[in-house]
Amino acid sequence: MAEAWGRRGFLGLAGAAGLAAVTGCGADSGAGGGAGSGAAAQPKQGGRLRAVYAGGGAKEVLDPHVQSLFVDIARHKAMYEKLVELGPDLKPVPRLASKWDHDGTATTWRFTLRDATFHDGGNLVAEDVLYSLSRIVDPAVPERVAQSSLATLDLKRSKAIGPATVELVLTAPNAEFPALLAGIGTQIVRNGFKDPSKPVGTGAFRYVSFEAGRSMIASRYDDYWDEPARIEELHILSADAEARANAVQGGQAEYANDMTATFARTAEAGKTVRIVAAKASTMQAFVMKVDQPPFDNPDVRLAFKLLADRQRLVDVVLAGRGEVGNDLFGKGYQYYPAGLPQRERDVDRAKALLAKAGLIGKQVEIFTADASAGFVEAATLFAEQVAEAGVRLKVSTGSPQTYAKDLLTKGAIGNHRSGAMTIPQYFTDRLLSQSPFNVTHWRRPAFDSAFAAARAVTSEQERSAKYGVLQKTLRDEGGILAWGLPDYLVAVSAKVQGVQAVPPNTLDQGRFDKVWLA
Amino acid sequence: MRLLAVPYAVQRTLLAVVQLAVLSVLVFVLTSLLPGDAAELRFTETLTPEQVAGLRIELGLDRPAPERFVHWLGDVLTGDLGTSLISGGPVAGIVRHSIGATLVLTLATLAVVVPLAVALGIVMGTRENGRIDRAITSVTLALSAIPDFVIAVVLVAVFSLKLGWLPATWIGGDLLSSPALLILPIAVLFGRTVCLLSRQVRAGTVAALNAEYITQARRLGVPRRRLLLRHVLPNAAVPGVQELARTGDTLLGGVLVVEAIFAIPGFATALVDGVETRDIPTVQGLTLVLAVAALLINLAADLTCNRLVPRTALLR
């Protein structure tokens, strides 16, 4: 399933330090309204906002169904919308679909469409939705990223019930279906949309120009259904971390995405730039392959979890900008079992477990690469911590560009980072026998079927309890040693207001129609 | 003597063609050695292994490397640089798109560096080992000893972030409306190139001043100004012109760093992107254009020297 929406993550806190906007984030129950508009200051109209993201050169695309980079996601978000989006806790919230319902078994779903218009003046109707979905799942174009997550969608049996109601049928029950419609690359395009270089969406900004690797320019769409944007013109630009830092400090950009902790420290010392930190919103972990020695022994997995000095890893590798992890993904998200105790360091117990496994004095190799900030540093520091129990962890470094793929096959233990996605999505991508990115090789048929059963439960409370049991199993027996939950950092120039710190791939992240320039 | 210059030019041109052929093979082999290919890297975290395999067939990456090379070469010989594996657009388009910024940057730097270096070189050469000579030498040597990125970071920190006088990056700006974008990048490249060039002109000047024909000219009472301009400078310029060709190469290396730091959407940026995404046709196309440019510059330099002081050609 599509992984891109997990590349980097964000979790909700209010944007501006001085703004009492926190209240605005309060999660309305499932079908609630949009984002909090908690405005302490009076929003101003007009102006141009330049936002800089990590670029992808020629890799950048205008086709909303082919997006894989953060910069693409931001650009498409300005022009296109989805039926459903995710709230700050990664719970589905309505967008182009104002509400939805299912047949009682979570197999046949009906979505009611909002009264929205496309940039060419046409009204949003059920046919647009059906066309968009058929374009996404077209097997001839594997780059359409939501293809695998929507694999159970049965388009032949899906149909329009009226202009504003669409019925979507699944081949298997799935209570998480609305969340899947909020995934990466699920934007609604106009019926018959063929040429991605001429974007026509329902979003708050209409297309002006695009140059891959450089910029996209869009202007305010005055007939936007959800209150037209405050800013007049939006530029979404591409640049690497160094240039992003210089641009936002030098006044050439007003918003810089994905900044380092080092930059945050410098920036906070000055007055020109403010840091919007989404607390503990991504995950840094070591992943152990449960089918490879020595980690095929559950005692060794537990021993390694007990050896991690999580606070020190957070302090050193994340420069203190983050929280310690509890060997699970998704803290703060819907379905996260908050009641589990925090795993603490226990060298003596770890030693006993390792002695029992006969691993004391032996060497284990950790496979890492400079693929993501802090990977090599974390591996090196962890090696010191493991050494205290008498096991030598040898750090071996691979190629950064191919690391994500190499990790699937190389090394018994390595680094893993994940951003925001729903917890069921994380399971589907990484923890089932057939998962394409199962980096811990966690393959248990009983776990798979328990997950499928949980996903089909229509009562949210019951479903949550079932997911909770699976997560406890993972925390105790699984191969994920989630040591840290880094903050996600965005830098904005002092005059930018209304930026909310929520996980990426959620509604209010990179949402420039709600931002204004003071 | 003129007649001799023609076969020399032909010789040099043939050599350049051979160099180009060797280079294109080298680039292909080296990029093939990089881990991963475009299909894998393009969607490394979004596509399943089966989908990547399908994409690889679609992009033609499943075919053997020699076959891909021959195919590419055939296209190039008919003037087609091929298609980008990543964007699906023509590589020629990427070249056209990115060459402007680099060209402007390089030419503007040369326009500043060359007159200054020549002037400095002559000043130093005519005052060999004097106080001014030593002072200029120290400063230019020091400049060339500092790595580009250090100069760049310091200049940005001082003139953009601290004083706010000059733009720190090219992000969100364009050259026509704000030519000030050029100042810091040129300043960085200046430090890198001025030293070597002025040293060569200085050496040429010193050698020329000590030559017997100058002594003779002096004895005949040729005025100093005329002596310098008509007799010393052309001779002093020979090592300078050759160094200038090398400066072109050095500049290209410097441009790589400068483009990255100032987020300049030029050739180097496109090249780095191409390598990172294993977009081999793009890397090959860009390298080929760069190579042709470098070869042409060197060719022009050699032919110019040949004209300036014809005997150097005869000696070869």
How many helices and strands, by DSSP H and E, does chain A display? 13, 21
Residue A198 lies in a domain: no
Q: What is the CATH number of the domain that holds A220?
A: 3.40.190.10
Residues A504 and A479 in one domain: no
Do B34 and B181 share a structural domain? no
A353 & A496 share domain: no
Residues A252 and A230 in one domain: yes
Question: Do B167 and B296 lie in a common domain?
Answer: yes
With CA atoms as reference, the chain B residue closest to A439 would be B45
Q: Which domain holds residue A252?
A: 205-279+488-517
Confidence at residue B4, expressed as pLDDT on a 0 to 100 scale: 52
Same domain for A347 and A392:
yes
Of B48, B164, B263, the CB nearest to A243: B263
Claim to verify: residue B170 and residue B245 sit in the same structural domain: yes
Q: Is A246 on the interface with B (CB under 8 A)?
A: yes
Q: For residue A100, is it within any domain? A: no
Bigger pLDDT: A492 vs B271: A492
> Is the distance from CB of B302 to CB of B12 less than 8 angstroms?
yes
Residue B6: pLDDT band (50, 70, 90) is low
The distance of B277 to chain A (nearest Cα, Å) reads 8
B172: exposed, middle or buried (Cβ count in 10 Å: 0-12, 13-18, 19+): buried
Residue B87 lies in a domain: no
Task: Tell whether B115 and B150 lie within a shared domain.
Answer: yes
The DSSP code sequence of chain B is: -HHHHHHHHHHHHHHHHHHHHHHHHHHHHHHHHSSS-HHHHHTTTTS-HHHHHHHHHHHTTTS-HHHHHHHHHHHHHTT---B-TTT-SBHHHHHHHHHHHHHHHHHHHHHHHHHHHHHHHHHHHHTTTSHHHHHHHHHHHHHHHS-HHHHHHHHIIIIIIIS--S-S-STT--TTT-GGGGHHHHHHHHHHHHHHHHHHHHHHHHHHHTSHHHHHHHHTT--HHHIIIIIIHHHHHHHHHHHHHHHHHHHHHHHHHHHHHHT--SHHHHHHHHHHTT-HHHHHHHHHHHHHHHHHHHHHHHHHHHHHSTHHHHH-
Q: Which two tokens stand for residue A339?
A: 């009641």
Distance CA A517, CA A494 (A): 9
CB distance B263–A404 less than 8 Å? no
Mean pLDDT, range A122-151, rounded to an integer: 92
- Convert B150-162 into a string of H (helix), E (strand) and C (coil): HHHHHHHHHHHHH
Question: What phi, psi does A88 have (nearest 5°)?
Answer: -60, -25
Give the mean pLDDT of chain B: 80
pLDDT at A221: 97
Can you give the pLDDT at residue B1? 46
Dump pLDDT digits (tens) for B76-108. 888 888 888 887 788 888 888 888 888 888 888
Which pLDDT does position A30 carry in this prediction? 34
pLDDT category of residue A59 using cuts at 50, 70 and 90: confident
* Residue A191: alpha-carbon gap to chain centroid: 28
Say if residue A340 is in the same domain as residue A468: yes
**Same domain? A291 vs A371:** yes
Within this chain, do residues B67 and B100 fall inside the same structural domain, yes or no? Answer: no
Domain around B101: 95-308
pLDDT of residue B311: 54
* CA-to-CA separations, B43 to A241, A397, B51, B90, in angstroms, rounded: 21, 22, 10, 21
Residue B2 domain flag: no
The answer, for A397 touching chain B at a CB cutoff of 8 Å, is: no
With an 8 Å Cβ cutoff, are B86 and A253 in contact?
no
Same-domain status, B107 and B253? yes
pLDDT reported for residue A261: 87
pLDDT tens profile A182-202: 999 999 999 999 999 999 999
> Could you tell me which chain B residue has the CA closest to the CA of A61?
B87
Chain B nearest-CA residue for A213:
B265
| pLDDT at site A23 | 36
For A264-279, write each residue's pLDDT tens digit: 988 888 888 999 999 9
- Average pLDDT for residues B154-171, to the nearest whole number? 85
Q: Is residue B58 part of a domain?
A: yes
Determine, yes or no, domain membership for B69: yes
Q: How many domains does chain A have?
A: 2
> Could you give the number of structural domains in chain B?
2
The answer as to whether B240 is a domain residue is yes
Calculate mean pLDDT across residues A382-397: 95
| A90: in domain | no
* ipTM score for this prediction: 0.74
Is residue B3's pLDDT more than 60?
A: no
The answer to whether residue B171 sits within a structural domain is yes
The answer on A347 and A231 residing in a single domain is no
Does residue A406 sit in the same domain as residue A305?
yes
Q: How far is A104 from chain B (nearest CA, A)?
A: 32
pLDDT above 50 (res A39): no
Examine residue A152 and state whether it is found in any structural domain, yes or no.
no
Tell me the three state secondary structure of residue A490.
Answer: strand
pLDDT, tens digit, for every residue of A359-386?
999 999 999 999 888 999 999 999 999 9
pTM of the predicted protein model? 0.82
* Domain identity same for B131 and B226: yes
- Tell which of B53, B78, B103 closes a domain: B78
A435 pLDDT above the threshold of 90: no
What is the percent of chain A where pLDDT is above 90?
A: 75
Distance CA A310, CA A382 (A): 9
**pLDDT value at position A34?**
35
Average pLDDT score, chain A: 89
Asked, as a colleague might, if the bond just before A294 is cis with ω within 30 of 0, I would say: yes
**Residues in chain B within 8 Å Cβ distance of A401:** 35-36, 41, 44, 276, 278
Percent share of chain B, pLDDT over 90: 0
| Residues B214, B301 within the same domain | yes
**pLDDT exceeds cutoff 50 at A26:** no
What is the average per-residue pLDDT within B142-165? 86
Q: Are residues B27 and B128 part of one domain?
A: no
Shortest CB distance from B46 goes to which of A4, A50, A253? A4
Residue B10: predicted pLDDT: 82
Looking at beta carbons, which residues of chain B come within 8 Å of A144?
A: none
In this prediction, residue B210 has a pLDDT band, given cuts at 50, 70 and 90, of confident
What is the predicted pLDDT for the residue at A200? Answer: 95
Residue A62 lies in a domain: no
| Contact across the interface for A252 and B167, Cβ inside 8 Å | yes
User: Could you tell me the pLDDT band of residue B5, with boundaries at 50, 70 and 90?
Assistant: low
Does residue B148 share a domain with residue B117? yes
The pLDDT value recorded for residue A311 is 97
**Whether residues A378 and A470 fall in one domain:** yes
Q: Residue A473: give its domain's CATH number.
A: 3.10.105.10
Q: Is the separation of the CB atoms in A467 and A423 below 8 Å?
A: yes
In a domain, B137, yes or no: yes
- Residue A167 falls within a domain, yes or no? no
Is position A473 within any domain? yes
Query: Do B273 and A243 make contact, defined as CB atoms within 8 angstroms?
Result: no
Do B100 and B196 have their domain in common?
yes
Question: Do A363 and A266 belong to one domain?
Answer: no
Domain identity same for A405 and A459: yes
Cα–Cα distances (Å) from A202 to A116, A356, B270, in that order, read 7, 62, 33
Residues 6+ apart with CB under 8 A from B49: A436
The SS3 of residue A463 is helix
pLDDT in the model for residue A32? 33
B315 domain-assigned? no
pLDDT band at B47 (very low <50, low <70, confident <90, very high): low
User: Bigger pLDDT: B51 or A319?
Assistant: A319
Shortest distance between the Cα of A342 and any Cα of chain B, in A, equals: 30
- CB-based contacts of A41: which residues, under 8 Å, 6+ apart? A19, A497, A518
Measured between CA atoms, how close is A376 to chain B, in angstroms?
19
The domain that contains B230 carries what CATH number?
1.10.3720.10
- Region A484-511: mean pLDDT is 92
Same domain, B252 and B134: yes
Question: What was the pLDDT predicted at A76?
Answer: 96
Question: Which residues share a beta bridge with A255?
Answer: A51, A492
Neighbours of A388 (CB within 10 A): 13
Q: Is residue A426 part of a domain?
A: yes
Cα separation, B270 vs A225, whole angstroms: 39
If asked whether residues A445 and A493 sit together in one domain, one would say no
